[in-house]
Structure 1
């Protein structure tokens, strides 16, 4: 896709701004307006760039355009005619940014602190780190029965504090709340060979950490977009080929991942077409104990990866 396949809308303060920090928000189908409003309320000295990755939703596009127009913060809305995917979309976002630091935020995030952007700006001004991850939480995520499994899995493996994340800095990094210095991103962009969902952010970190340190801080945002068990399983199904791409490119790194070791072990288990669907069915069963469902879903994910790794 070339630049001719995108349309731009800038608000009145965009042209004259000289921000040091660019906030980059991709979305496809999800509504980023609440996040944009939350960031704009802080009135920090930043710019915001939103990218619609081929949603083809005119109502949503109009809503985003109106919100960008009303924002005090310099903002640009980039609308792509067709979906290009998570990695390429984020690379496209970065091409529109003017700041020397890029803060990637997922559209379904909500800052946990009213000075969220101020903390990021202070970090850029005081330390200007090559890479920093602020972490994410479930503090503001509503309690819903249909998303209980995802909540439990995220709480146990993703919503980690600084000390835990620093033990494996590249593995515990996500584009949901990620700061990258411009020169670092220019040297190491996201791999556009990834498609579908998952692993493009961790693979990026595996490459980047060879050249720059990854700083982990506590400046969290809540992941509001928890999925139903069925949606989560579908995302894992999409991610299997991406995991195989990571394993092929970084075999020594993934060799220590529990998901890789379990996947390797499951390759030796006969009749996967029988037990793999049973694992999925149990993970989707709302009446089953949540802890057992979590174990089944993690095992199902490893079984999917077992099909793709060598």
Structure 2
């Protein structure tokens, strides 16, 4: 980690953690999440450590606030501040290299635990089973309920915020780095692919690779995803993700061909003048006057129309 300022608190040196919680952030403030996790410190002892990494935000005031918070926390914690952004995949690989636990819990900075024994549940799972991979799920229980986020809320509720039993039917599909446990030897054998850039699919592609070699466990230990997006923001992310989707299709055609997003994209590929139609689909999704269900359908259709070029 040459050239990356790193500090840790007084509890770091003596801790012998079994579980390392890895939290990357960029232009976010993870202080509230850290405070919530630290409430479990007494129950956990020194079996859990936290490694939090600023992936090139460049905010000296935020760094100073976090440095002060780290020093007062009861859990062992290390703060790494990167001077330049490395991206989602490389950043998480770097976090894993800075951790000491035999199991790694990837937790996004905009997540909020849905229970007061969130880390205890993960630590107990590690103690009892030490699974190769486990995903805890996420919810929108604490997320802001504002009209501008209604489309994202509807899409996430129907497609992502589902229980462990349902997720287990397609275990590699419902894996996100928002609340993901990985055993160290598994991660060292199969890290995130640093060639993925922008937004999307790097975690699912990783899960596809891993699922060919190890079982993927799903449990109900959710955290709330606080970072809901507007339709404009989601559309922008989908536009970024088309290249990543193409990589997934090229590498794992046997798995991804069963996904609805692939099948719809394949069908749309046959639509004449799709590139000219695509902006019209987006306009329906952006229309505030349209019903939420119609906007959500249009946004999913717009994503599939983008992906049609990759199938």
Q: TM-score, normalised by structure 2?
A: 0.97
Partner of 2:137: 135
Partner of 2:233: 231
Match of 1:252 among 251, 254, 269: 254
Distance in 2 between residues matched to 1:252 and 1:214, nearest whole Å:
18
Match of 1:198 among 188, 200, 207: 200
Instruction: Please identify runs of 4+ aligned residues in structure 1 that moved more than 2 A.
Output: none
Partner of 1:155: 157
Partner of 2:282: 280
Query: Any idea what the Cα deviations from partners look like across 1:125-150, whole Å, max 9, x if unmatched?
Result: 01111110000001111201111111
Cα drift, residue 5 of structure 1 = 3.1
Distance in 2 between residues matched to 1:67 and 1:278, nearest whole Å:
48
SS of aligned partner of 1:159: coil
Cα drift, residue 62 of structure 1 = 1.6
Cα drift, residue 173 of structure 1 = 0.9
Match of 1:5 among 3, 6, 13: 3
Match of 1:121 among 120, 123, 126: 123
Query: Any idea what the Cα deviations from partners look like across 1:35-68, whole Å, max 9, x if unmatched?
Result: 0000001112310000111111122222221211
SS of aligned partner of 2:254: helix
Distance in 2 between residues matched to 1:58 and 1:233, nearest whole Å:
31
Q: Report the count of equivalent residues.
A: 307
1:1-310 equivalent positions in 2, closer than 5 A: 3-43=1-41, 44=44, 45-307=47-309, 309-310=310-311
Cα drift, residue 107 of structure 1 = 0.3
Structure 1 unpaired stretches of 5+: none
Cα drift, residue 16 of structure 1 = 1.5
Q: TM-score, normalised by structure 1?
A: 0.97
Distance in 2 between residues matched to 1:274 and 1:61, nearest whole Å:
46
Distance in 1 between residues matched to 2:192 and 2:168, nearest whole Å:
22
Farther-moved stretch of structure 1 (270-279 vs 140-149):
270-279
SS of aligned partner of 2:142: coil
Cα drift, residue 111 of structure 1 = 0.3
Distance in 2 between residues matched to 1:13 and 1:253, nearest whole Å:
44
Distance in 1 between residues matched to 2:301 and 2:169, nearest whole Å:
24
Cα drift, residue 275 of structure 1 = 1.4
Distance in 2 between residues matched to 1:274 and 1:176, nearest whole Å:
35
